[in-house]
Amino acid sequence: MTLIGIDTGGTFTDFVLWREGAIRTHKVLSTSDAPERAILQGIAELGLDPQELRVVHGSTVATNAVLEGKGVRTLYVANRGLRDVLTIGRQARADLYDLQPPPRTPPVPRALCIETGGRLAADATWVEPLTQADLDDFRAKVAQLAPEAVAINLLFSYLDDSAERALADALPSDLFVSRSSEVLPLTGEYERGIATWINAWVGPVVAGYLDRLAAGLPGARVSVMQSSGEAVAADQTARHAARLLLSGPAGGLAGAAFAAAAEKDSPRLLSFDMGGTSTDVALIDGEPRLTTSGRIAGYPVALPMVDMHTIGAGGGSIAQVDAGGILLVGPESAGASPGPACYGRGGTRPTVTDANLVLGRLDPEGFLGGRMRLDVAAAREALGGVARQLGLAVEETALGILRIANEHMARALRVISVQRGLDPRGFTLTSFGGAGGLHVCALAEALEMSQALVPVHAGVLSALGMLVAPAGRTLTRTRLGLIAELGDQEVAAALQALADQAAAELAREGWEPDGLRIERSLDLRYRGQSHTLNLAWSSVQAAIEGFHARHQAAYGHRLELPVELVNLRVRARGPLPGLRLPELEAEAALVASRDLFAYGCDAPVPVISREAVAQRASVSGPAIIADAVSTTWLAPGWAARLDGCGNLQLSRMAA
C-alpha cells in the first residue's frame, strides 16, 4: 500500500507520501473547525485513491479540545468523601510567592462529581464494598445528570478493578466510559483522576473526528501517532484519547531522529519545531526521551509522552504594543484563518512571518516552491501600525519582532538544556517546522552553538516522522514493595504480564508477537521518597546497584536506605518501517537562483534552492535556501553544505 504521513498543525496540514522509494510532499492550509476537511482536500489534490492508502496521522484534536476547554459534558465518579480531589489537586501554587493567585475553574463542576462505594484499602482489602444499592443510586444519578461521558476513579483500583468494572457495566452502552484502572493503573489518585477525566472529556470529540475521517477515506488503513511516539490503529484510539495530547510533536521528534541517523555518527540533537502557532523544544540523544511528568493546559498528565517544552511562539505569532509602550510578540496567533497579513487571506495584524518577509528573508515569489505568493505590501502595512506606535521604521520594527521571538525560543531551549545541567554547545541545533529554518542561525548564536541541522523536508518533518514511527504500546502498572523482598522471579513475572497485554493489543492490529521489541523497566525510589528514577530491568541486584549509581549521578549523593519498587513499565514496539531517505539525485538539482535585497546586508542576497546547494562545496551566508516546504535564512558568518540525503548541515565560520 502507499504510505502517507499527515500532520495537522495550527496553520498548515502537512503530507509526506512514500511510494516505491520516492518521497513527495504537500501542504494545505488547515481547517481548524473541521481538521478532516484539510486532510481530505490534500489527499484529493495528490490524486490518491483512499483504498490504496495506509495513513499515519498526527492529530491535534485532543490537544485543542483540552486547551480550548471544548470537551463534552463529563461525570466524575469517586469514592465517598473524595469528589473534590480534582479541584483540590496537590495544593501547589504555580507561583510560590504569589499570595493572591487568581481563582481557577475546577476541571469538573461539583454538580457533576458524584460519590459511591467500592473503596479499597492500600492492601487491597475492602473498606466499603460496592453494593447493589450503590449501583441503583449510581444509575439514577447518571440518568438525572445526563452526561455524554463518565470518568470512574476509585481508590487503589489498580489493585482490584472489579468495582470500577461493575460501575461501567451499569451504564448505558451509548455513554463513553473511562476507568482509571484501564487509563492509568498507577498510584496517585489525583494524577490518575486527571488522566481518566481528560480521557473521558475529549474521548467523544476524538471519536467523532476519527469517524468523519474514516467516512471520507473508505478502505484506507488509518493509524494515529501517540504522545509516546508510537502509532496505534484508529479504531482503538478513541478509548485512549489522552494518549494523543502530543501526537503531532511526537512525530516531529521521530522525524528529526530519523533524519539525523542518516549521518555516520548520529549527533546529539537540541531540537526546535517552529510552526505557525507554537514552538516545541526537546533533546534527542539517539531517540526522543519520554516523561511521565508532562502538563497540558496546567494539568498533570502522567501518561508516557515525549519530553518537550512548548511555548506560544510561531510564524503566526502576533506583534502588538501594550499599554506601557512595550513591544510584545505572541502567544496570540493569526492561525490559518486569516493567517499572517502577507498570506492575503484577510489578516491585518502583524506577525513573525510578516517581519521575516519585510526584512527580505523570505522569497515572495518562491514561498512553498512558488505555490503561494506572499504580499509584501500587506506585510508592510500591517507592521506600519506597530512601527508608528514605537516611532521606528518598519524594518527596525520587524527586526525587533524577530529579536523578541528569538529570545522567547532561546529561553525555551535553555529550559530543556541549561536548566537540566546540560551544555547546549555539545549538541547540534536541529530546526524543523515551517518557520524553523528562518531562525536557526540566530538561536544557535544565542546559545553559543557552532553546528546546526535543517533536515530534508524540514517543513513537513512531523508528517515524515509519522511514517518512520513503529506501532507500539507503552504500559505501566503500580507494584509497591521493597524490591529486595520481591525477588527476580516475582518482578519478571509481573513485567511479563504487562508485555503479554501489550502483545495482545498489537496482535489485534496484525503484529506478530515474535516481531515485537520489548523494553522492560522499573520506577524506583528510596523508601520514604516521593519521586522515582526509571531503570532498565535485568535483575533485582542490578536494579538496586543501578539505582544507587543513578541517584548519585542525578543528585550528588546516595542514601543507606532500602530501594522501593513503585511502577512496572513495558514498552512494546513493532518492527521499524524499512524506510530510508532516498539519495539526492545530482542531475535533478536546480542551479538557477536569483537575488533579493535583505535588510542589513550591503549586497543582494542570493535565493538558492536546497537542491542547488548540492552543486557547490558549500554556501556562505547571507543567503536564502528555499525548498518546496520551508525556507532557511543562512545568516552572515554561517556556511551550509548538503549531505547525500539532502539534509542541510550548517557551521558557524570562525570570526
User: Looking at residue 118, what is its pLDDT?
Assistant: 95
In this predicted model, which residue has the larger pLDDT, 543 or 309?
Answer: 543
CATH of domain 2-65+207-248: 3.30.420.40
Confidence band, pLDDT 50/70/90 cuts, at residue 246: confident
User: Looking at residue 615, what is its pLDDT?
Assistant: 73
Percent of the chain surpassing pLDDT 90: 57
User: Looking at residue 647, what is its pLDDT?
Assistant: 87
pLDDT at 591 over 50: no
User: Looking at residue 587, what is its pLDDT?
Assistant: 41
User: Looking at residue 137, what is its pLDDT?
Assistant: 96
The helix/strand/coil state of 333 is strand
User: Looking at residue 366, what is its pLDDT?
Assistant: 80
What is the rounded CA–CA span in Å between residue 46 and residue 15?
Answer: 9
User: Looking at residue 338, what is its pLDDT?
Assistant: 86
Cβ(447)–Cβ(425) below 8 Å: yes
DSSP 342-397: GG-SS--S-BHHHHHHHTT-S-TTTGGGGTS---HHHHHHHHHHHHHHHT--HHHH
User: Looking at residue 593, what is its pLDDT?
Assistant: 59
pLDDT in tens, 346-359: 889 999 999 999 99
How many residues comprise the chain? 655
User: Looking at residue 147, what is its pLDDT?
Assistant: 96
Domain residue extents for the chain: 2-65+207-248, 74-201, 472-573, 586-652
What is the rounded CA–CA span in Å between residue 565 and residue 556?
Answer: 21
Mean pLDDT (the chain, rounded): 89
Confidence band, pLDDT 50/70/90 cuts, at residue 552: very high
User: Looking at residue 333, what is its pLDDT?
Assistant: 82
Cβ(632)–Cβ(625) below 8 Å: yes
User: Looking at residue 589, what is its pLDDT?
Assistant: 41
What is the rounded CA–CA span in Å between residue 245 and residue 67?
Answer: 10
Judged by average pLDDT, the poorest of 110-119, 324-333, 477-486, 629-638 is 324-333
Indicate the burial class of 355 (C-beta count within 10 angstroms; 0-12, 13-18, 19 or more).
buried
Confidence band, pLDDT 50/70/90 cuts, at residue 125: very high
pLDDT in tens, 13-52: 999 998 877 888 898 888 878 899 999 999 999 999 999 8
User: Looking at residue 513, what is its pLDDT?
Assistant: 87
pLDDT at 389 over 60: yes
Helix H or strand E encompassing 432: strand 428-432
pLDDT in tens, 406-436: 999 999 999 999 988 889 999 999 999 888 9
pLDDT in tens, 595-645: 888 888 888 999 988 878 877 778 998 999 988 888 999 999 999 998 877
| R_g of the chain, CA atoms, integer Å | 26
User: Looking at residue 592, what is its pLDDT?
Assistant: 45
Q: Is the dihedral of CA 380, 386, 388, 394 positive or negative?
A: negative
Say if strands 299-301 and 294-296 run parallel, antiparallel, or are unpaired: antiparallel
User: Looking at residue 502, what is its pLDDT?
Assistant: 93
Helix, strand, coil content of the chain in percent (nearest 5): 35, 25, 35
Cβ(633)–Cβ(361) below 8 Å: yes
